[in-house]
Structure formats: C-alpha cells, structure tokens
C-alpha cells in the first residue's frame, strides 16, 4: 500500500492543486498535479465521492486499488509533485491491471509535462494557502 508519508491529507493541499495546478481527464478519473516549492517528495491524494459511487464498500475498494497502483508507480513522478486523483464516474473495469494501466498513462502524462506549474512560495507542505496568487 501507499504509505501515509506519500499521501495528501490536508484540505489546503487539495485546494492548492485545484487552484494552481494543471488538470486532465483520463478515462474515468480526473487528475490534477502541481509542483510544490520545496521538494518534500511525491504526495498523492484520492477523491472518490458519494455522488459517483454510492456504496462505501465499493468506494473503499476503488481507493485501495488506486493506492496500490500509486505505490507501484510513484517512482514515475517527479520529485516535489503533488497529485490529486478524483474518480469522475463509476469505472466500467475495476480489475487491478486496468487501474494500473490508467494510472500509468496518467503518471506518464504528469512526468512528461515540461511546464509543471509551481505553487506560490507560500504554498508548501507546511504553510497555509492564501486566497491571492503571486507569480
């Protein structure tokens, strides 16, 4: 499994990726990413909303597969990347190999992004997100 040290937990970190990061839809999930100012390692967050998958057991099942795929593929991501993976629709194929292939495609897209946006200097793993943006 993906260790807690590699996961995004704070709402402000999810908000920073949403506000200042890049986003792309890949298969049944949306992926957002951004570099943080300080290289504190790769951080990955997962969102599986009630509106998309009603049953908690199914949501947990999907999150477990996403975490395992992220664990196997985290070395593909650049140092300092913050990634949020949000399930946008119920996946038609939930086999681990299918999830792994989709995540591999997403992580390849992120690692090939030459213009990865950096969060403003005050947005890091330990600071609070301000509502204004300075470049």
| 49 in any annotated domain | yes
- Tens digits of residue pLDDT in 98-109: 999 999 999 999
- Predicted confidence at residue 92, as pLDDT, reads 84
Give the separation between CA 93 and CA 113, rounded to whole angstroms. Answer: 27
pLDDT over 90 percentage in the chain: 59
Quote the domain boundaries for residue 16: 4-111
CATH number of the domain residue 26 falls in: 3.30.230.10
Q: What is the mean pLDDT of the chain?
A: 84
Work out how many domains the chain is built from and give that number: 1
Query: Does 120 map to a domain?
Result: no
Place of tokens 């969102």: 47
Is 24 a domain residue? yes
- Summarize pLDDT for 57-87 with one digit per residue, the tens: 999 999 999 999 999 999 998 888 899 999 9
CA distance 70 to 72: 5
């Amino acid at each position: 499994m993906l260790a807690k040290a590699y996961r995004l937990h704070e709402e402000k970190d999810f908000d920073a990726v949403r506000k200042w990061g890049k986003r792309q839809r890949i298969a049944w999930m949306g992926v957002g990413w951004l570099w943080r100012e300080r290289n504190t390692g790769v951080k990955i967050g997962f969102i599986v909303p009630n509106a998309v998958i009603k049953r908690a057991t199914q949501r947990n099942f999907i999150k477990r597969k996403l975490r395992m795929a992220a664990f196997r593929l985290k070395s593909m991501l650049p140092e300092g990347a913050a990634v949020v993976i949000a399930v946008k629709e119920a996946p038609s194929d939930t086999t681990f190999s299918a999830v792994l292939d989709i995540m591999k495609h997403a992580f390849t897209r992120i690692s090939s992004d030459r213009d990865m946006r950096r969060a403003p200097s005050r947005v890091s793993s330990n600071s609070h997100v301000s509502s204004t943006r300075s470049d």
